[in-house]
Structure 1
Amino acid sequence: MPFQLHPPREYALISTGLVLIAAALWVDYRDVEPVYSPYSGEYQGHEINPIDRLGYTVRDDRAGNLADVGLFGGPVLPILLSFDQRTRPHYPLILVLWLQTMLLTFALTSLIKNTANRPRPYIYNANWHPERLLSRKDRAAFLSGHAANATAGGVLFAALLEAYDRPLATYGRLIAVAVAGFTAFLRVKAGRHWVTDATAGILLGGAVAGAVIRLHRPSHLVNEPTVP
């Protein structure tokens, strides 16, 4: 068995996710001060760090809608293993890993967003009125939830394929990279996130999925490569 369940650990991970969601809601509840645009006048670029200046400040709804494919498609990838006869007997275990990965990714993303309160790139566009009150969505740039969820689902999918010695493991890794990268790019292109927001989302999603996978591998397999 490439993975093992230990009930106390499973309850602890799920409980941690729920506590983090509660913390995110608490932070949001306490955020009652009105927030306005951090600048007035035309955006010149010097207000943003050099890396994020590579991004976009024009709101592109088409790119934003396309990024939803990664938001939902990435997390769905591990579910596809239910169609494979080899992994189907292990599907209850896979569902537990999936639930923990996506719950923790969502919880951490929500808490970080509500704490950071970073304005989205589109409010730096010249057509944004400086005196317009920023909503919660306008202040949810850091970090990219789309990139985090797409990456978490993709990494979990690739790891599961590799763990079960599937011939398609290499393709699984390529799919994970493609889904994560494409989603992150589209969120930047849409003017919803800065480059560092998208990068942080990828790192968070990958770290959570990797940690969940590692925690569930038997100790004698943790440092052993999978035999193709």
Structure 2
Amino acid sequence: MKMIKNAFLLIVVCFLTFSGFSQEKKDSPYETNFVKDGIWIASTVGLNVLGVKIIQEKDNLSLTDLNKLSKDDIWGIDRWAAGYYSEQANEDSYIPFYASFVMPFALLLNENERGNAGQISVLFVETMATTGALFTITAGLVEKSRPLVYNESLETEKRIDSDEQRSFFAGHTAATAAASFFAAKVFNDFNPDSPLKPFVWGVGAAVPALVGYMRIKAGKHFLTDNLIGYGVGAAAGILIPELHKKGNKNLQIYPTASFNQGEYKFASQGLALNFQF
């Protein structure tokens, strides 16, 4: 079933990508490039796969390390959340989380955005794939126990589980921020004179904040995890559409290739960011 879902997702990504490249863009503030955007999407999807692999190979927390954990070792800004745990808050956090992915599609209610649906879909795929790549790689490489691990009333098996050792940074918050800020940014660029802009930006900022709050209550992330996740997602949601704006000559992207050595060796191709003053 999981393989079927992944295959379906890949088909959807390919469809949205190629439809965006082939569709005529009428009155769009953006422009896309088959080579650059194709490399961007392929690279970030590849990094997502690598990141998931690293996460899957993470070890459980040893009992020795579990016994060494102390709330006193946590930064003061985060210490208050140590020990938080709520399955209800965890389940509730998925409501605004999934709702945020619907927000970009609400843009299609406007005729001009609907006429550029393929192009907007390409930018949305890039935004989410970029955010996902940053999250999965970071969560896989950084060892940081979730707040619930400090809750001594929970079963030891749950506290030492490898999935509970990737608190940094908050992926749900990052993904929600990426989707909601992307929707606000695209609406802003297509409708620069709309009186609804303050409301759209307000909703875009509030939804990921709500998710972040729920993830803290659930014992999944500390405050700083959510702040970083919020920032990463918001940056991706705003900057990727901005990179594609017509006439934006000072901010450019171009293909690159590199080889990284370490436990995970791979040749990577991607896009470099260049800003000219």
Which category of TM-score, normalised to the shorter sequence, fits these structures?
Answer: 0.7 to 0.9
Q: Which runs of 5+ in 1 are unaligned?
A: 224-228
Shift of 1:56: 4.6
Does 1:189 pair with 2:240? no
Please give the secondary structure, in 1, of the residue aligned with 2:145.
coil
Q: How does 1:73-152 map to 2 (within 5 A)?
A: 73-128=99-154, 134-152=160-178
Shift of 1:39: 3.9
Residues in 2 aligned to 1:46 and 1:29: alpha-carbon distance in whole angstroms: 29
- The answer to whether the 8 Å contact 1:63/1:190 transfers is yes
Please give the secondary structure, in 1, of the residue aligned with 2:181.
helix
TM-score, scaled to structure 2: 0.73
TM-score, scaled to structure 1: 0.87
Match of 2:245 in 1: 217
Residues in 2 aligned to 1:152 and 1:110: alpha-carbon distance in whole angstroms: 15
Q: Which moved more, 1:125-134 or 1:143-152?
A: 125-134
Cα-Cα RMSD = 2.3
Compare relative contact order (CA 8 Å, sep 6+) and give the higher one, 1 or 2.
1
Residues in 2 aligned to 1:133 and 1:66: alpha-carbon distance in whole angstroms: 21
Q: Alignment length, in residue pairs?
A: 221
Shift of 1:132: 6.5
Structure 1, residues 61-98: CA drift from partner, whole Å, max 9, x if none? 11111211232112221111122223110111111111
Q: Which moved more, 1:22-31 or 1:65-74?
A: 22-31
Q: How does 1:1-228 map to 2 (within 5 A)?
A: 1-28=28-55, 30-31=57-58, 33-36=59-62, 38-40=65-67, 45-128=71-154, 134-165=160-191, 166-220=194-248
Shift of 1:133: 6.8
Q: Describe the shift of the 1:217–1:134 C-alpha distance in structure 2 as closer, same or farther (beyond 3 A).
A: same
Q: Describe the shift of the 1:126–1:97 C-alpha distance in structure 2 as closer, same or farther (beyond 3 A).
A: same
Q: Which runs of 5+ in 2 are unaligned?
A: 1-27, 252-277
Match of 1:226 in 2: none
Structure 1 or 2: more strand by fraction: 2
Residues in 2 aligned to 1:167 and 1:203: alpha-carbon distance in whole angstroms: 26
